[in-house]
């Protein structure tokens, strides 16, 4: 079991990279909401393959809704969206069943599923499965905007090339709207150019690079979330790691807090108009698992694409001896750009779910 998530909105993701279709069931969306399908399509396009920095596998990745929507309006019944897999080439992958690719789930899935997993294209572990996540999250993004809540992520870093960070205490809806959403979503377009060079350089060398994504949520009311196991950090972390290749997550000051003094790390409260705010936002908008009303800010580390052109060492499972592996075809030299909307989508799912919890507190 695995691919279910949620307390008030429950999602169940299905599909393999090369199965007939992939998709998601979303149970608990509000009846009466009319998703903007153009906007959803534009959001999906941000995740879709294409562009000079990504894999050339071409897929429209537009969802078809089998249920839960009638005349364009959510009915309250579970929504099922599927995306057909049209560009399937199972032949590309038969080798990996015996020779697991380093950095992929080929080996661990082989053990877990006793050799019966659908290894083709990475099966259920493929990054392609983030497409249904983006359908579900894309709708939640629209629902949240109705409530004045905005979510925006950008590439904070590719290798050692850094974008500016959000000002954690000041980041606003306008900052999210003014993100440069080209092939690489950044605050500072100059950074994007350097990042693009860095990615192309890696591609030319048959290699790949990693990075860091920063995400901000604005417009959150104070008092969302729960103590201990159901805090905002717990919930976001538990969902963010659903995105393949994420290796770490940090909130507010994150790992930098280790080097700070309490006097420096504490964010003093102050009155700002009729609102209570903090000066500084090392707490990342969360105290005791509960939102403070300040922007919620976190960063997630994304590893370099494990599929690289160079010949790699691995083992032959059947022969139980060391072996060489060469991954053919072309792959994203960097998955960070396409992971940006995935981070937004997953965050939207969590925030929307928690927002429903908050309605019960009233």
Binding to a second copy (CB under 8 A) within 305-324 occurs at 305-308, 310, 312-315, 317, 320-322
Rounded to whole angstroms, the Cα distance separating 316 from 323 reads: 6
Binding to a second copy (CB under 8 A) within 150-169 occurs at 157-160
Binding to a second copy (CB under 8 A) within 208-227 occurs at 208-212, 222-227
CB-based contact 106:88 (threshold 8 Å): no
Q: Which stretch binds a second copy (CB under 8 A): 107-115, 146-154, 167-175, 176-184?
A: 107-115
When asked if residue 146 is in the footprint of a second copy (CB under 8 A), the reply is: no
Of 152 and 244, nearer to a second copy (C-beta) is 244
Q: Which stretch binds a second copy (CB under 8 A): 40-48, 49-57, 142-150, 230-238?
A: 230-238
When asked if residue 35 is in the footprint of a second copy (CB under 8 A), the reply is: no
Binding to a second copy (CB under 8 A) within 125-144 occurs at 125, 129
Token pair recorded at residue 361:
């507190």
* The binder of a second copy chosen from 290, 339, 348, 350 (CB under 8 A): 290
Rounded to whole angstroms, the Cα distance separating 10 from 349 reads: 9
Token pair recorded at residue 173:
């809806």
When asked if residue 111 is in the footprint of a second copy (CB under 8 A), the reply is: yes
When asked if residue 296 is in the footprint of a second copy (CB under 8 A), the reply is: no
User: In 3D, which of 223, 220, 298, 203 has the Cα closest to residue 253?
Assistant: 298
- What is the smallest separation between the CB atom of 136 and a second copy, expressed in angstroms? 12
As a residue count, the chain comes to 362
When asked if residue 82 is in the footprint of a second copy (CB under 8 A), the reply is: yes
The SS3 of residue 293 is coil
Binding to a second copy (CB under 8 A) within 232-271 occurs at 233-235, 237-239, 241-242, 244, 246-271
Output DSSP code: residue 302.
Answer: E
Rounded to whole angstroms, the Cα distance separating 58 from 316 reads: 31
Q: Which residue has the tokens 């919890």?
A: 357
Q: Which stretch binds a second copy (CB under 8 A): 50-58, 163-171, 176-184, 300-308?
A: 300-308
Between helix 37-47 and helix 130-146 the angle, nearest 10°, is 140
- What is the smallest separation between the CB atom of 59 and a second copy, expressed in angstroms? 16
The SS3 of residue 223 is coil
Of 174 and 229, nearer to a second copy (C-beta) is 229
Sign for the CA dihedral angle at 27, 28, 30, 35 comes to: negative
């Amino acid at each position: 079991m695995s691919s279910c998530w949620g307390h008030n909105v429950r999602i169940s993701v299905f599909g393999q990279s090369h199965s007939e279709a992939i998709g998601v069931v979303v149970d608990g969306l509000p009846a009466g909401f009319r998703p903007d399908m153009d906007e959803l399509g534009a959001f999906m396009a941000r995740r879709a393959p294409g562009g000079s920095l990504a894999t050339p596998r071409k897929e429209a990745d537009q969802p078809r809704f089998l249920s839960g929507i009638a005349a364009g309006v959510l009915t309250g019944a579970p929504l099922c969206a599927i995306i057909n897999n049209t560009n399937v080439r199972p032949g590309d992958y038969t080798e990996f069943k015996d020779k697991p690719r380093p950095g992929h789930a080929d080996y661990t899935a082989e053990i877990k599923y006793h050799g019966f997993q659908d290894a083709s294209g990475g099966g259920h572990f493929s990054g392609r499965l983030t497409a249904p996540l983006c359908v579900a999250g894309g709708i939640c993004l629209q629902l949240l905007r109705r409530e004045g809540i905005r979510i925006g992520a950008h590439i904070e870093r590719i290798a050692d090339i850094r974008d500016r960070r959000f000002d954690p205490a000041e980041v606003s809806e306008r900052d999210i709207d003014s993100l440069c959403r080209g092939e690489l979503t950044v605050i500072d377009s100059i950074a994007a150019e350097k990042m693009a060079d860095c990615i192309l350089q890696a591609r030319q060398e048959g290699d790949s690079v990693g990075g860091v994504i920063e995400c901000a949520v604005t417009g959150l009311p104070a008092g969302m979330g729960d103590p201990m196991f159901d805090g905002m950090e717990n919930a976001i972390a538990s969902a963010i790691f659903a995105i393949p290749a994420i290796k770490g997550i940090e909130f507010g000051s994150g790992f930098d807090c280790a080097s700070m003094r309490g006097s420096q790390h504490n964010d003093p409260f102050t009155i700002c108009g009729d609102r209570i705010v903090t000066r500084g936002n090392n707490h990342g908008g969360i105290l005791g698992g509960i939102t403070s009303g300040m922007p919620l800010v976190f960063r997630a580390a994304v590893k370099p694409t494990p599929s690289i052109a160079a010949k790699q060492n691995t083992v032959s499972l059947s022969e139980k001896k060391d072996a060489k592996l060469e991954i053919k075809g072309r792959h994203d030299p960097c998955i960070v750009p396409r992971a940006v909307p995935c981070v937004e989508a997953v965050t939207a799912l969590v925030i929307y779910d928690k927002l429903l919890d908050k309605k019960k507190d009233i």
